[in-house]
């Protein structure tokens, strides 16, 4: 039989073994206590440090969302998909920089805002932070083209306009005033010019290289002839995203022209006229339906008309009394001294019905022949005008006078000073516009008077 080996330990050996075992266990426990399980955090690929709990990050997310909601006035949501956590064991934790985390989470592209987007024909135009503002925007766009006191049958948009709830980035959100300006003009930018002394719309258009037509379009309420110093002129040519179509009912009063009847009388010279009874305009009311697009009339339809007041005819006395032969010789003398600057015929694309004789202001103007003054006063483009009837249906005209020395009905002799030269009416410089008419048809005056053509 084999022998069993027996190991015997004395008490001192037993104590040594126990001390060694305890030492190993203590070392193992110490090593275990020196390592920790943590999460390494990255946002959009940027390392932010380490946390022991994901909740540390989610608390920051909640805080950022609240701050963004207060700032933009609408619900804000941070995109948590960009936040990545990875487990790690470390002996010493690298804490996150909370300020850097807030800054990264707050970036426009890293969060979404609840908004209400206005689309035109399916295209996104502007986004606002409340449904109420989006609805008010549509009302204010329409209101921009409405006139106080008008009676509107319909106000609508030509395009398909819708409001949708949608999450957007913060940089896509519009301030209300900017949104209104953007839809009406196509830009949020305000460019203005303050009118200075001596400026006109034409000089302002030249300065900014804008066409006069575009500048007038940008300032529809501005009167080009009445610019005031300090007045602000918009330099933004509007290109609206929407077309507001209005249909309005309008009632307008319109004059009905009276007719003129003539009565012959020997109390007046031939060619002389005198009003016996003034004509009175009639009045009618016209009911119309006017369609406009962005304030511009596109069609007008008369619906009904009512005569409120009938017109009364004007009666004019027409002279038949022969002009004394001692007055009208039949031959015309030059009506004034001066230089012939323009002849009878086509000029600047239209008919020039007389000749122009230039001299200094106040140069005497004489009757080319004896006759009766049938008109003395202001007459449109002629300015101050004298018309003399010489009999035999022949008349002479003296236009652009500075001063008139005769009155209607006066009998004048050949060569008598009747006026002084000027530049009234539509005149370019001081001159006499002289006409000869037969049966009221303009003739070439150079067939009757003599001036040298320069």
Residue 310 CA to residue 321 CA, distance in Å, equals 34
Residue whose tokens read 């009364």: 312
Provide the token pair at 374.
């049938």
The whole-model pTM stands at 0.54
Q: Residue 214: its pLDDT value, please?
A: 81
Contact (CB, 8 A) for 284 and 254: yes
Q: Which long-range contacts (CB under 8 A, 24 or more apart) does 147-154 make?
A: 150/248, 150/250, 151/248, 151/249, 151/250, 152/246, 152/247, 152/248, 152/249, 153/247, 153/248, 153/249, 153/289, 154/245, 154/246, 154/247
Q: Residue 46: its pLDDT value, please?
A: 92
Contact (CB, 8 A) for 357 and 335: yes
With vertex at residue 50, the alpha carbon angle to CA 47 and CA 53, rounded to the nearest 5 degrees, is: 130
Segment 15-42 mean pLDDT:
65
pLDDT digits (tens, 9 = 90+) for 206-256: 888 888 888 888 888 888 878 889 999 888 777 899 999 999 998 889 999
Q: Residue 135: its pLDDT value, please?
A: 96
Q: Has domain 249-320 been given CATH number 2.20.230.10?
A: yes
Q: What are phi and psi of 285, to 5 degrees?
A: -100, 130
Q: Residue 6: its pLDDT value, please?
A: 46
What is the residue-averaged pLDDT of the chain?
88
Segment 133-149 mean pLDDT:
94
Is the pLDDT assigned to residue 69 strictly greater than 60? yes
Residue predicted with more confidence, 27 or 125:
125
Counting every residue, how long is the chain? Answer: 454
Q: Which CATH architecture has domain 325-447?
A: Distorted Sandwich (2.70)
Is the pLDDT assigned to residue 295 strictly greater than 80? yes
Which of the four pLDDT bands, split at 50, 70 and 90, describes residue 277? very high
Q: Residue 15: its pLDDT value, please?
A: 58
Distance of CA 48 to the CA centre of its chain: 53
Q: Residue 7: its pLDDT value, please?
A: 45
Segment 251-271 mean pLDDT:
90
Q: Residue 140: its pLDDT value, please?
A: 96
Q: State the CB neighbour count (10 A cutoff) for residue 296.
A: 9
Which of the four pLDDT bands, split at 50, 70 and 90, describes residue 23? low
Segment 134-153 mean pLDDT:
94
Segment 294-317 mean pLDDT:
93
pLDDT digits (tens, 9 = 90+) for 330-351: 889 999 999 999 999 887 778 8
Q: Residue 5: its pLDDT value, please?
A: 42
Q: What are phi and psi of 115, to 5 degrees?
A: -145, 170
> pLDDT above 90 covers what percent of the chain?
66
Q: Residue 30: its pLDDT value, please?
A: 46
Q: Residue 191: its pLDDT value, please?
A: 83
Residue 167 CA to residue 88 CA, distance in Å, equals 35
Residue 364 CA to residue 40 CA, distance in Å, equals 106
Q: Has domain 116-234 been given CATH number 3.10.350.10?
A: yes
**Domain positions in the chain:** 48-113, 116-234, 249-320, 325-447
Q: Residue 272: its pLDDT value, please?
A: 78
């Amino acid at each position: 039989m084999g022998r069993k080996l027996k190991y015997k330990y004395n008490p001192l050996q037993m104590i040594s073994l126990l001390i060694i075992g305890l030492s190993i266990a203590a070392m193992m426990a110490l090593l275990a206590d020196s390592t920790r399980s943590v999460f390494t955090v990255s946002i959009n690929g940027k390392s932010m440090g380490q946390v022991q709990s994901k909740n540390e990050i989610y608390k920051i997310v909640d805080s950022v969302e609240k701050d963004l909601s207060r700032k933009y006035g609408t619900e804000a949501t941070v995109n948590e998909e960009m936040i990545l956590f990875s487990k790690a064991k470390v002996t010493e934790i690298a804490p996150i920089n909370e300020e850097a985390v807030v800054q990264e989470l707050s970036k426009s592209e890293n969060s979404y805002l609840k908004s209400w987007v206005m689309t035109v024909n399916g295209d996104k135009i502007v986004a606002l932070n409340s449904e109420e503002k989006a609805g008010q925007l549509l009302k204010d766009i329409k209101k921009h083209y409405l006139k106080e006191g008008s009676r509107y049958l319909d106000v609508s948009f030509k395009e398909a306009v819708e409001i949708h709830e949608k999450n957007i980035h913060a940089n896509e959100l519009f301030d209300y005033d900017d949104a209104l300006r953007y839809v009406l003009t196509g830009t949020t930018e305000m460019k203005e010019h303050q009118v200075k002394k001596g400026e006109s719309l034409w000089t302002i258009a030249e300065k900014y290289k804008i066409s006069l037509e575009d500048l007038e379009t940008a300032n529809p309420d501005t009167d080009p002839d009445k610019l005031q110093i300090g007045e602000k002129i918009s330099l933004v040519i509007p290109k609206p995203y929407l077309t507001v179509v209005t249909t309005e009912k309008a009632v307008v009063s319109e004059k009905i022209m009276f007719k003129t009847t003539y009565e012959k009388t020997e109390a007046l010279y031939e060619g002389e006229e005198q009003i016996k009874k003034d004509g009175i305009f009639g009045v009618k009311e016209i009911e119309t339906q006017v369609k406009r697009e962005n304030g511009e009339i596109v069609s007008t339809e008369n619906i009904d008309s009512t005569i409120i007041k009938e017109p009364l005819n004007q009666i004019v006395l027409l002279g038949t009394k022969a002009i004394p032969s001692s007055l009208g010789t039949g031959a015309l003398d030059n009506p004034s001294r001066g230089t012939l600057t323009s002849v009878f015929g086509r000029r600047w694309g239209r008919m020039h019905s007389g000749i122009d004789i230039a001299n200094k202001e106040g140069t005497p103007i004489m009757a080319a022949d004896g006759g009766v003054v049938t008109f003395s006063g202001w007459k449109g483009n002629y300015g101050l005008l004298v018309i003399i009837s010489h009999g035999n249906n022949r008349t002479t005209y003296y236009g652009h006078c500075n001063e008139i020395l005769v009155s209607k009905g006066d009998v004048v002799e050949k060569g008598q000073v009747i006026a002084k030269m000027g530049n009234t009416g539509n005149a370019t410089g001081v001159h006499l516009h002289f006409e000869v008419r037969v049966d009221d048809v303009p003739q070439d005056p150079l067939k009757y008077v003599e001036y040298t053509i320069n």
